[in-house]
Amino acid sequence: MPLQFHPAIARSTAWFSLPRPIVSLRVQDVWDSERFKSPLIDGQRTVGHSQGGSTIVIQGQVAAQAGEVRFTEAEMLATLLSLREALHVGESQPKFDFVLFFDPVTHERQYFQECSTTRLEWDLSEASLYTYSLTIQADDPQIHTA
């Protein structure tokens, strides 16, 4: 079976699948550089290119999580609270891997390492379907395969 889109938070033995459906998942890469303007010469000189970390921006809905459908407001809220806990990085919780693709047969995955959460927003105003927006910073911009 080939790799499947399966966004999840992974820490050593802990695995947390993001609530589905995922409406949008965007990866933003940036490069640092120095720009110099030489007097009396048209244009500029750009030097010192280096890739910074990647920012991952996700928008999702809490209709299902790990294959289980969430119907009630209490179930959807419990899922969001679990997501919030899984995303926490602090003294007792190290940075995590953010998994993009996973093969359930071979357990191969493609993922970002050294990730931390920079923002989590919930929208609880629609009782039939809660939504969330999540921003993750991956200090390592490489997509790893293991």
Strand-strand pairing, 109-123 and 96-102: antiparallel
CA neighbor of 144 nearest in space, from 109, 118, 116: 109
Spatial CB neighbours of 63, under 8 Å, sequence gap ≥ 6: 19, 20, 21, 69, 70, 129
Provide the residue-wise pLDDT of the chain in tens; the chain has 146 residues. Answer: 699 999 999 998 899 999 999 999 999 998 887 877 778 788 787 777 788 899 999 999 998 777 778 789 999 999 999 999 999 998 888 999 999 999 999 999 999 999 999 999 999 999 889 999 999 999 999 999 99
Rounded to two decimals, the pTM is 0.86
Q: Is 4-30+51-145 in CATH node 2.40.30? A: yes
**E strands in 14-83:** 14-17, 20-36, 45-65, 68-69
